[in-house]
Amino acid sequence: MPRQMPKLRRAKGLFLIVISGFLCFSCDSNAVFDSYKSVPNQWHKDSIASFKFEAPDTINNYNLYVNLRNTDDYKFNNLFLIVELNYPNGKAVTDTLEYKMAAPSGELLGTGFTDHKENKLWFRGYKEPFVFNEEGDYTINIQHAMRKNGDVNGLEYLEGITDIGFRVEQVQNK
């Protein structure tokens, strides 16, 4: 029995080192807001993922991203989204955005080693710095706008998207 105590201590020590390392590397000092919503089964065309957050400040520059997690059940090369940014004063700006989701070979883009991929898609900040010019709560609404070529009506259900997220990162001055 005394021989097992050192093994147990080593196992606990190794466990603590692994957890500490994970926490240190998973911390992201640039992220101001980062949240996901799960998509049950398929993403319905009328289902809107909404994210509400408070403006961090009205001085610094920020990058805004739409984050998506998808599986190989996603059968398209691109993705059309309608993204609405609602300001605290009631102003709303709506964009229809297109993102490339697959390489010409058909291989899905994004990070990940299995059939699950994660995509970090630019929303604001890539062409010119984005500054929250009003204090208060902002809301982002994200909805898919996919349709098959030649089809006037959009797809009612979009397969392969498992999570929809939104992320705000402070731009690091160099």
CA 43 to chain centre: 15
Number of residues in the chain: 174
Delineate the domains of the chain, giving CATH numbers in brackets: 30-170 (2.60.120)
For the entire predicted model, the pTM comes to 0.80
Residue 97's pLDDT is what? Answer: 96
Contacts of 110 (CB under 8 A, 6+ apart): 68, 70, 101, 117, 118, 119
Q: Which of 14-23, 128-137, 162-171 is least confident?
A: 14-23
Can you tell me the distance from the alpha carbon of 5 to that of 96, in angstroms, rounded to the nearest whole number?
A: 61
Per DSSP, helices labelled H in the chain are 4-26
Contacts of 5 (CB under 8 A, 6+ apart): none
Can you tell me the distance from the alpha carbon of 100 to that of 166, in angstroms, rounded to the nearest whole number?
A: 18
Tens digits of residue pLDDT in 87-138: 999 999 999 999 999 999 988 899 997 889 999 999 999 889 899 999 999 9
